[in-house]
Amino acid sequence: MRVLDRKLLRDALRLWAQGIAIALVLASGVGTLILSMGVYQSLDETLRAYYERHRFGHVFASATRAPRTLLPAIRALDGVSSADARVSGAAILDLPDLAEPASAMLLGLPDDGTAGHAASRGLNRVYVKRGQLPEPGRGNQIAINAAFADANGLGPGDTVSAVVNGRRTQLKVSAVVLSPDTIYAIGPGDLIPDDRRFGVFWMPDSELRAVYDLEGAFNQLSVLLQHGADAAPVMEAVDRLLKPYGGTASYGRDNHPSHAFIDTELSELRGMMVVLPPVFLLVTAFLVHMILSRLIALEREQIGLLKAVGYGRWAIAAHYLKLVMIIAALGILLGTAVGAWLGYGLTALYTRFFHFPFLIFRLSPEVFLIATAVAVAATAGGALGAVLRVVRLKPVVAMSPPAPPVFRRGRILPPALAKLFSESTVMVTRHLLRTPARSLLTMVGVSFSVAVMITSMFGLDSVDRMIEVTFHQSERQHANISFHEPNTWRAVNAIQRLPGVLRAEPFRTVSARLHHGHRHRRVAVQGKPDGADLSRVLDTSLEPVDLPPTGIAISQKLAEVLHAGPGDAVRLETLGREQGMHDLKISKVIQGYIGLGAYMSLDALNRLLGEDRLVSGVNLMLDDNRLDAFYREVKATPSIHAISLIRRAMHRFRETIGENIGIMVTTFSTLGIVIAFGVCYNSARVQLSERARELASLRVLGFSRWEVSRILLKEMGFLALAGIPLGWLVGYWLAWLASRGMQSELYQVPFLVEPATFARATVVVLGAVILSGAIVWRRIRHLDLIRVLKTRE
C-alpha cells in the first residue's frame, strides 16, 4: 500500500466517530432514495407488466342495461383496440363464523371458456392461483379473489352462502384468482380493504345475466385503447353510445377505484423521493465541508510539505477526496443495505393491500447507480471548497503558520453591548459571529432534523383530523344500507323496524355530471332529508348546516375544479336511470375531504327528477347491544343490496394506522436524530479542535473544567435552540408543500400540524443535541493541557 494511503487509513480511523456520524446522515439519504425509488420502480414495473399481460382496460363505463350488440360499434371506434362487456352485481354474504354480514362484488367471466388463458381476448383477465375457473352450467360455481379466500380460509370445493339479487343461494368455489382491476379491492363504505368482509366473485357472465335478467345485455364496459390513443374522444363516444341505455359517464384509469389507490401510493413514493433524500444529501455536503475544511486547516503544513517534496497538487487533492470517499462508501453501503431492507419491508406491507400475482422488491442496478452517483456528488460537492483550497495553497505559504484570526473591537459585538454579558458569553457570541456561515449552516442543519420529523409525521395529524371531521361530525351513522333500485318510504320503515335500529334516515344518490361553463365532473349527488342528523353537511367552518330547499351545495374541491361559487348557475346532467338536464344554482360551498361532494335536499332532488319521495338507501344508528340480531336480520332480508358498516370501517382504519404509527415514529425519529447528532457532534468537534488551545489556556489560568466546557456547550446550545424554531417553520412549510402534493379529487387531506408533533420533533432533536454535548464534554474533561499548549497551531 502506498504511504499516502496508509496515512489516509490512519486519518480515517482517527476521525471514525465524525466519519460515522456523517456516513449515517448520508446513509439516510441513500436509504430513503433506494427505498422510495426502488419500491416505486418495483411497483410501477410490476403494475405495467401485470396490466399489459392481463389486459387491464383504459376506459370504463357502466350502464343500466345496454345491449351486447353495441360492442362491435364500440370496438370500431377510433383509438379502440378492444372492448369487453360484462355484468356486475353485488351480494350479501353469510359467513358461518362472522356475525356481521359480508359482501361481495360479482363480476362476469367471458363465456368462451378462455377466461383465464393467455389467448383470451377478454379484458381484465384473471390470474388463476388455485383451482379451475367456473364454467357455465356447472351450477353456481364461482372464482373468488385470493385475499378474501385467504382471510376466510376458503378454497376450491368450499361453499359460500349468499343473497344475490334477492335470492338466497349457495355458491361453490372452484378457483382462487387475482385480477388487474381488483389489485386494491375495497368494499362499499370501507376506507381500507377489509378482506374478511369483502370479496370479489367471478361467475360465468351468462349466469350473471340470467340472475339479473340481463339476457343479451351488459352493465359494465371496459375498453382497451390503441397505443398512444387519446382517451377523451373515446370516452365521449362511449358516453354517447351508452346514453340511451342508462349509461353513467365513463372514466379512465385515473378514476378506477383499484388503480387510483395504487396511483396515490406511487405519487406518495415520488413525493418521498423528492423531499427526503435531498435534505440528507445537503446536510451531508455541509458536514463534509465542515470537517474537511478543519482537517485541511490542521494539516496545512503537511500539505505544504507534500508539495515541497514533489507531490502534485491534484495528487494531494485526490488524497483528501479519497478520505471523504471512504465516508461516502460507508454511507452508500449502509444506506443501500438499510434502504433495501426497508424496501423489502414496505413491499411486503404493500402485498397486504395490493394483490399482484407476484410483487417483490428488486434493487435494480440503475437505482443503485443513481443513489451512488448522487451520494458521491453530494460528498464530493461538500469537499469541493476545501479541496480547491488544497490545490491553491502555495507550499511556502502552507508551511508558515496561518495568521491569527482577526477580531476587531466593536466590529462583531460592540463593547457597549458586550459589557452586558459575562466574558464567556461574549467569547461565545464573538466566535459564533466570526464564522457566520458555519454557525448559520449548523443552525439550518438542526432545523432540517426538526423539519424532517414534522414533514414525515404531520400526515398522522391530518388523517386524524380527516377522520374526526368525516366520521364524528359529518358521517355519524353506524352503517348504511342501499337498495338495488330506488325504493319508497315503505322500505325505510321496514328497515326502521329491524332489531337494534335506533334511528334511520333515508338518502337518495344519483349519478350525474355537473357542468359549469366548459368544465364538468362526474359526481354522485346525495339527497338528504331536512334535519338529517346522522349524515350531516358541514360548512367551511365545520358547522352543520341545513341544505337549502333549492339549489345544489358542492364541496370546496368541486367548487375549485369547476371554478364555481355560491350563486353560480350550473347544469346537472343526471345519468343512469334518471337521465335529464337540469339548471340549478349553487346554494352553498361546503366542507368535504373525500371525493367530490354534491348535495341537495332530498325533496328538492326528487322534485328535480320528477319523482315522489324515492330513496336509494338508509343511514342507520344502531344499538350496540343488539348488533347480532340486526346482522342476522340483514342477512335474511333479500331487498338489501349492500350494507356498509361505517363504524367498523373507521375502527379498522384507525387500528391499521395505529399499527403503523409506531414504525413511522421510530423510523422518522431515527432519521431526525441522525441529522441532529451528525450536525451538532461534528460542529462541536470542529469547534473543540479549533479552540483547544484557547480552552486549555483558560484551564491553565484557573478556569474549572465545567466553566471551560460551558463555553463550547453554550455555543452548541445556542445554535440548537435557534435551529429548533427555524425547524418548526421549515417543517411546517415542507409539510404544507407535501399536503398540496397529496391533494387529489379522491381525497383532500386537511393540512394540520398538531402541537404534539412539534413537541415530539423538538424533544427528539434536543435529546440528540444533549447526547452530542455529553460526548464533547467528556473530551473536554480529558483535554491534555500540556500537549495542546505545546502544539504549534
Partner 1 sequence: MAETIFEVRGVTRVYHTGEVAVHALRGVDLDLYAGEMVVLLGPSGSGKSTLLNIIGGLDSPTDGDVRFRGRSLGGLDDGGLTRYRRDHVGFVFQFYNLMPGLTARENVALVTEISRQPMTPEAALAMVGLEHRMDHFPAQLSGGEQQRVAIARAIAKRPEVLLCDEPTGALDSHTGVRVLEALTRVNEELGTCTAIITHNVSIRQIAHRVFLFADGRVGEAEVNANRLRPDEVSW
Identify the helix (H) or strand (E) that includes residue 501: strand 501-516
Q: Contact between 117 and partner 1 (CB under 8 A)?
A: no
Of 239-247, 301-309, 520-528, 733-741, the window that binds partner 1 (rule: CB under 8 A) is 301-309
**Nine cell digits for residue 674:** 441522525
By beta-carbon proximity to partner 1, the closer residue of 295 and 504 is 295
Give Cα 647 to chain centroid, integer Å.
Answer: 24
- Residues ≥6 apart with Cβ < 8 Å to 554: 514, 562, 564, 586, 588, 589, 590, 596, 597, 598, 599
Tally of helices (H runs) and strands (E runs) in the chain: 22, 22
By beta-carbon proximity to partner 1, the closer residue of 315 and 417 is 315
By beta-carbon proximity to partner 1, the closer residue of 119 and 403 is 403
Pairing of strands 569-574, 501-516: antiparallel
Residues 741-770 that bind partner 1 (CB under 8 A): none
Q: CB 10 → partner 1: shortest distance, Å?
A: 5
Q: Contact between 469 and partner 1 (CB under 8 A)?
A: no
**Nine cell digits for residue 319:** 488524497
Q: Contact between 662 and partner 1 (CB under 8 A)?
A: no
- Contact string (CB under 8 A) for partner 1, positions 391-420, x = contact: ---xxx--x---------------------
> What CA–CA distance (Å, rounded) separates 500 from 505?
14
Q: Contact between 496 and partner 1 (CB under 8 A)?
A: no
Q: CB 793 → partner 1: shortest distance, Å?
A: 13
By beta-carbon proximity to partner 1, the closer residue of 168 and 394 is 394
- The per-residue DSSP string of 125-153 comes to --EEEEE----TTSSSEEEEEHHHHHHHT
Q: What angle do CA 777, 783, 785 make, to 5 degrees?
A: 145
Q: Contact between 692 and partner 1 (CB under 8 A)?
A: no
> What CA–CA distance (Å, rounded) separates 218 from 409?
89
- Residues ≥6 apart with Cβ < 8 Å to 342: 31, 35, 667
> What CA–CA distance (Å, rounded) separates 347 from 301?
53
Of 31-39, 300-308, 588-596, 648-656, the window that binds partner 1 (rule: CB under 8 A) is 300-308
Q: CB 732 → partner 1: shortest distance, Å?
A: 47
Q: CB 392 → partner 1: shortest distance, Å?
A: 10
Place of cell 436509504: 31
Q: Contact between 12 and partner 1 (CB under 8 A)?
A: no
- The per-residue DSSP string of 455-508 comes to HHHHHHHHHHHHHIIIIIIIB--SEEEEEEEEE-HHHHHHHHTSTTEEEEEEEE
Q: CB 780 → partner 1: shortest distance, Å?
A: 22
Binds partner 1 (CB under 8 A): choice among 227, 409, 490, 792: 792
Binds partner 1 (CB under 8 A): choice among 244, 312, 402, 549: 312
Crossing angle of helices 705-742 and 436-467, rounded to 10°: 50
Q: Contact between 4 and partner 1 (CB under 8 A)?
A: yes
Report DSSP state, residue 413.
S
Q: CB 394 → partner 1: shortest distance, Å?
A: 7
Burial 203-212 (b: 16+ CB within 10 A, else e): bbbbbbbebb
> What CA–CA distance (Å, rounded) separates 336 from 363?
9
Binds partner 1 (CB under 8 A): choice among 127, 245, 251, 311: 311
**Nine cell digits for residue 399:** 508551511
Of 169-177, 296-304, 417-425, 471-479, the window that binds partner 1 (rule: CB under 8 A) is 296-304
Of 7-15, 217-225, 243-251, 476-484, the window that binds partner 1 (rule: CB under 8 A) is 7-15
> What CA–CA distance (Å, rounded) separates 110 from 121?
9
By beta-carbon proximity to partner 1, the closer residue of 13 and 118 is 13
- Using CB under 8 A, count the residues that bind partner 1: 25
Residue type, 606: N
> What CA–CA distance (Å, rounded) separates 778 from 48?
56
Q: Contact between 304 and partner 1 (CB under 8 A)?
A: yes
Give Cα 129 to chain centroid, integer Å.
Answer: 30
Binds partner 1 (CB under 8 A): choice among 137, 153, 216, 310: 310
Binds partner 1 (CB under 8 A): choice among 2, 227, 408, 409: 2
Binds partner 1 (CB under 8 A): choice among 81, 82, 165, 302: 302
Q: CB 305 → partner 1: shortest distance, Å?
A: 4
Q: CB 790 → partner 1: shortest distance, Å?
A: 11
Interacting residues toward partner 1 by CB under 8 A:
2-4, 6-7, 10-11, 14, 301-302, 304-313, 394-396, 399, 792
